[in-house]
């Protein structure tokens, strides 16, 4: 009988070989923030590093999606990879463990970013929607779509939502075998447009509640082309159209209620949702905070509006009470999330990828990873990107995630004070 270490050596050798092959192929940490000594000087420590198992000569990383305790990466060969992003405790997997790899569709087909839910990871590919078990990657269900979808899926309140067609949102149960008991979102019936910047009032038809609910696929009117994937909001779902209409469908005492808010302008990326608050920016330079109305029937109200002095980039970032907005070539600005007051302005341009460890991390215009002090606006660090040139935008956690096109993923976390 072979000793234990003899059985361990072959898979260990394969894993080490894959990692070094990835580093040699453009993911070398030298002179980058991935280097442990360089990271420590910036107040960060390397949490984990992994090479995804795919043929980098045939495909590249296309999407990296960050969820609660998990990172999902999609590669052009049709593979979906799940990585444990946080320590699973005594009996769970360690941070940086490859949980599973699952092949979806075929190489070359359109594939928007995946969605991570409490129990599932859903992936749209070509004209199909696949649901994989989050912990194991096992296939749970598959839904054939009538046509291609532009935006990716979203998980909210036990349902999966996917934009289909020009003005519809497909809703499917995350668990098709569960008992049918929740109310069904109502079709939009009130055609009267609300006043500019106001929420639309509801009719009794909007909140009608049937005794039982079908688990069959349902298409909900979106009132326009959905700009980005939907997202969870107050136990329901929220989306924004390309014309700037925010729509939320939320569970209420008498059934589902539909609330709308008109930005009246093209949105600059997906709204940022924090608890019950919505932050949104428009392409022409408006920044707004929207909160729910505390009244029967609900609704959405404008809390504050700020005028930006340049067109914003797609992603907003929230750190404590500070809302960070990238203004592209014009630098970035920091606003109070509570009042909309301008707290700071810097003319250092770049694409923000994370706010981590009290610093704003961005890919600057000369191809380096730079950081800006969140409190003072001063530039603090500048690193060579090396092979870690695939931008991973993290609005969900306090981690800086770096990736190479050939599949090396690295997580950096703030050092304990």
Cα separation, 173 vs 162, in Å, equals: 12
- Please report, in angstroms and rounded to a whole number, the separation of the first and last CA atoms in the chain: 49
- Confidence (pLDDT) at 151: 83
Tell me what pLDDT residue 3 has.
Answer: 42
Report how far residue 236's alpha carbon sits from residue 288's, in angstroms, rounded to the nearest whole number.
21
Write down the pLDDT at residue 181.
59
pTM for the model stands at 0.84
Do residues 169 and 226 make contact, with C-beta atoms less than 8 angstroms apart? yes
Question: What pLDDT was estimated at residue 178?
Answer: 80
Neighbouring residues of 415: CB distance < 8 A, sequence distance ≥ 6: 40, 43, 44, 45, 357
Give the tens place of pLDDT for each residue, 128-171: 999 999 999 999 999 998 877 778 999 998 999 999 888 899 99
Whole-angstrom distance, CA of residue 228 vs CA of residue 169: 12
Which residue carries 């096109």 as its tokens?
405
The structure tokens 């929207």 sit at 290
- How far is the C-alpha of 390 from the C-alpha of 388, rounded, in Å? 6
Report the C-alpha gap between 12 and 254 in whole angstroms: 57
Q: Are strands 236-240 and 231-233 parallel, antiparallel or unpaired?
A: antiparallel
The per-residue pLDDT for 66 is: 96
C-beta pairs of 13-17 under 8 Å, 24+ apart in sequence? 15/51
Q: Which residues of the chain have pLDDT under 50?
A: 1-22, 24-25, 27, 186-211
Tell me the three state secondary structure of residue 39. helix
Tokens 């981590």 map to which residue?
356
């Amino acid at each position: 009988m072979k000793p234990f270490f003899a059985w361990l050596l072959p898979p260990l050798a394969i894993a080490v070989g894959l990692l070094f092959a990835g580093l040699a192929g453009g993911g070398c940490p030298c002179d980058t923030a991935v280097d442990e000594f360089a990271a420590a000087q910036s107040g960060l420590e390397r949490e984990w590093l992994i090479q995804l198992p795919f043929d980098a000569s045939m495909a590249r990383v296309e999407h990296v999606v960050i969820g609660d305790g998990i990172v999902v990466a999609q590669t052009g060969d049709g593979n979906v990879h799940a990585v444990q992003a946080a320590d699973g405790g005594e009996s769970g997997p360690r941070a940086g463990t490859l949980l599973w790899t699952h092949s979806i569709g075929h190489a070359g087909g359109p594939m928007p970013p995946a969605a991570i839910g409490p129990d599932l990871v859903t992936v749209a590919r070509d004209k199909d929607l696949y649901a994989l078990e989050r912990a194991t990657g096992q296939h749970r269900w598959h839904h054939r779509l009538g046509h291609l979808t532009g935006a990716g899926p979203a998980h909210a309140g036990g349902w999966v939502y996917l934009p289909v067609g020009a003005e519809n949102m497909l809703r499917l149960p995350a668990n098709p075998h569960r008992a049918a008991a929740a109310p069904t979102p109502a079709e939009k019936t009130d055609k009267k447009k609300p006043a500019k910047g106001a929420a639309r009032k509801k009719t009794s038809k909007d909140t009608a509640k049937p005794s039982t609910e079908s688990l069959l696929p349902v298409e909900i009117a979106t009132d326009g082309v959905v700009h980005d994937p939907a997202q969870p909001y107050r136990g329901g779902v929220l989306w924004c159209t390309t014309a700037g209409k925010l729509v939320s469908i939320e569970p209420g005492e008498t059934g589902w209620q539909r609330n709308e808010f008109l930005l009246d302008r093209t949105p600059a990326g997906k709204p940022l949702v924090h608890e019950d608050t919505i932050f949104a920016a428009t392409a022409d330079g408006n920044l707004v905070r929207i909160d729910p109305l505390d009244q029967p029937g609900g609704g959405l109200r404008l809390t504050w509006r700020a005028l930006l002095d340049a067109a914003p980039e797609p992603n907003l970032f929230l750190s404590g009470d500070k809302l960070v907005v990238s203004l592209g070539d014009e630098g970035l600005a920091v606003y109070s999330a509570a009042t909309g007051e301008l707290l700071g302005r810097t003319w250092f341009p770049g694409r923000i990828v994370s706010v981590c460890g009290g610093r704003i991390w961005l890919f600057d215009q000369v191809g380096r990873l730079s950081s800006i002090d969140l409190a003072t606006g001063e530039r603090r660090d500048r690193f060579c990107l090396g092979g870690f040139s695939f931008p991973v935008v993290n609005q969900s956690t306090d981690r800086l995630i770096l990736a190479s096109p050939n599949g090396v993923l690295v997580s950096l976390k703030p050092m304990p004070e």
